Amino acid sequence: MSETILHLAHAADWAAASATGEYAVSTRGATIEQVGYLHCSYERQVAGVAEAFYADDPEPLVVLEIDVAALEAAGRTVRVEALDGAPEPFPHVYGGPLPVAAVVAVRGAMFDATGRFGFTDGGADPAASTARPD
């Protein structure tokens, strides 16, 4: 099995990308064009990223599982880079928007009542299972 990396996305942004074939959001509130790359993480990092940058975000989230080999076949480059203040390096995707075809799974995501991030068991429509607790 090929290596995968993860990207947190607003469910609405992912739905729009599914229709166009390309996803162009780098991180919350910024496009790949503005930042220069797509922010990604490894599975062990995604909860920390979600809790640090999306815990106050009311929009439903999904987690995109991205196939690195498919990215490279589409002309994208993955670089693992250190970020200021981060305890370990993160994968970043360079070379343009994320091709929807490189996404091998979409997982529903949520925050529990204590603010901890987790995946949902949402089935085929993860956007329908990303509700946040009141």
Domain positions in the chain are 4-129
Sheet harboring 90-94: ordered strands across?
Answer: 38-39, 90-94, 77-81
Across the chain, what does the average pLDDT equal? 88
Predicted confidence (pLDDT) per residue in 93-109, tens digit: 999 999 999 999 999 99
Contacting residues for 85 by C-beta, under 8 A, at least 6 apart = none
The pTM assigned to this predicted structure is: 0.87
* Dist CA 37 CA 22 (whole Å): 14
Q: How much of the chain, in percent, has pLDDT values that exceed 70?
A: 89
Q: For domain 4-129, give the CATH superfamily.
A: Protein of unknown function DUF952 (3.20.170.20)
Phi, psi (rounded to 5 degrees) for 88: -155, 160
